Amino acid sequence: MRVTESRGMHTRLVPLLTAIVSLTLTMVDARAQTPRAGSSQAYPVKPIRIIVGLAAGGVADVTARTVGQKLSEQLGQPVVVENRTGAGTSLAIERVAASAADGYTLLLMGSSSTVQSAVRRKLPFDVERDFAPISLLTNAPYMIVVHPSMPANSVKDLIALAHAQPGKLNFGSNGMGSLSFLAGTLFNLMAKTSIVEVPYKGGTENVIAAASGQVTFSFTGVPTALPLVNAAKLKALAVTSSQRVKFVPDVPTVAESGLPGYAIVPWYGLAAPANVSKDVVALLNAQVDKAMNTPEMKASLAPKGMEVQTSSPQQFAAHIRSEIEKNAQLFKAAGVKPE
């Protein structure tokens, strides 16, 4: 072949080879950027479940469904809320702890999750070890409610009745190891009373028990109690927060109406099984922050006595640790021994 022919062929081949190399690099780059099944880039590619340890209709359930609806809109996948009640929310916690760490099964973690280790000797889970905190969501104080026929119009009256009838009064809770159980324990400790706990599966059953006169009074979420209070089927004595709830400003706090220093505020957050991808945690944290911190969301939750309280995963983890330590000290002071 003559040199001139070789040069001509080379001239024609260079653009062709360049095009082939360019196409190959484009395909490699595209493959690198295509989300892989199970990777954080692909997440979510199927429905997500939020497991709630309390019955439908209570504050925990309302919180899960509220954030679930917004996450579904933002992520483009269904977010299904599943209520798994029993054992003071332990069944729900155990279920999620044993689930795959892929971000598709989440726990609506509540204050009660930090109570379990203080009241139960053997648990099939460890809240700190077995979960990856995503974000706090809301907090919502309890309301102390009594049947309208009860001769008590304040916490002070309630304490006086309890002192006059030691061991005769009782209160409804969401079960052994729930925060409402802790609320009653703290009440007994500070008021020096011996009011007996009556456990129920969740806030709805608990508040119905008070409305039907089955229990003397109940610690129940504001949104659960309010319809019955407004219908005069229950009488609201106090809220358990350190300050009055803006939506029900006429209802005093426990602290100002007979038990100075008393404060219990249930909180709720979202967590995934431990070892879930950090990218998934970061994505969900950002989406929760976006969903919850809007004027519309805050305005919609306020009438339910709920306040938005989001956080970073690290802040949530520190909060869980602090709550576990505080609750253990309270039960020790009250003489409550783990079962």
| Higher-scoring residue by pLDDT: 222, 99 | 99
How many beta carbons lie within 10 A of that of residue 119, not counting itself? 21
The whole-number pLDDT of residue 41 equals: 57
The whole-number pLDDT of residue 235 equals: 96
Kindly indicate the confidence band of residue 17, based on its pLDDT and cuts at 50, 70 and 90.
very low
For domain 142-257, the question of CATH label 3.40.190.10 is answered with yes
> Do residues 88 and 206 make contact, with C-beta atoms less than 8 angstroms apart?
no
- The mean of the pLDDT values for the chain is 86
pLDDT tens digit sequence for 273-298: 999 999 999 999 999 999 999 999 99
The whole-number pLDDT of residue 118 equals: 77
How many beta carbons lie within 10 A of that of residue 296, not counting itself? 7
The whole-number pLDDT of residue 3 equals: 42
CA 248 – CA 198 distance, rounded (Å):
27
Least confident of 92-96, 246-250, 301-305: 301-305
59-75 vs 278-292: helix crossing angle, rounded to 10: 110
Task: Please name the fold of domain 48-139+267-334.
Answer: D-Maltodextrin-Binding Protein; domain 2 (3.40.190)
The whole-number pLDDT of residue 36 equals: 39
| Higher-scoring residue by pLDDT: 220, 4 | 220
Please say if the pLDDT value at position 268 is more than 50.
Answer: yes
The whole-number pLDDT of residue 35 equals: 38
Task: State percent of the chain over pLDDT 90.
Answer: 63
- Give the SS3 label for residue 126: coil
At 79, give phi and psi (nearest 5°).
-120, 110
- Taking alpha carbons only, the member of 176, 173, 182, 49 closest to residue 108 is 49
pLDDT tens digit sequence for 61-75: 889 999 999 999 999
The whole-number pLDDT of residue 12 equals: 52
The whole-number pLDDT of residue 27 equals: 41
The whole-number pLDDT of residue 30 equals: 36
Kindly indicate the confidence band of residue 16, based on its pLDDT and cuts at 50, 70 and 90.
very low
Say which residues have a Cβ less than 8 Å from residue 264's Cβ, sequence separation at least 6. Answer: 141, 142, 179, 182, 183, 186, 219, 240
Say which residues have a Cβ less than 8 Å from residue 23's Cβ, sequence separation at least 6. Answer: none
Least confident of 13-22, 112-121, 235-244, 268-277: 13-22
Kindly indicate the confidence band of residue 209, based on its pLDDT and cuts at 50, 70 and 90.
very high
pLDDT tens digit sequence for 114-167: 988 777 778 889 999 999 999 999 998 999 999 999 999 999 999 999 999 999
Please say if the pLDDT value at position 270 is more than 90.
Answer: yes
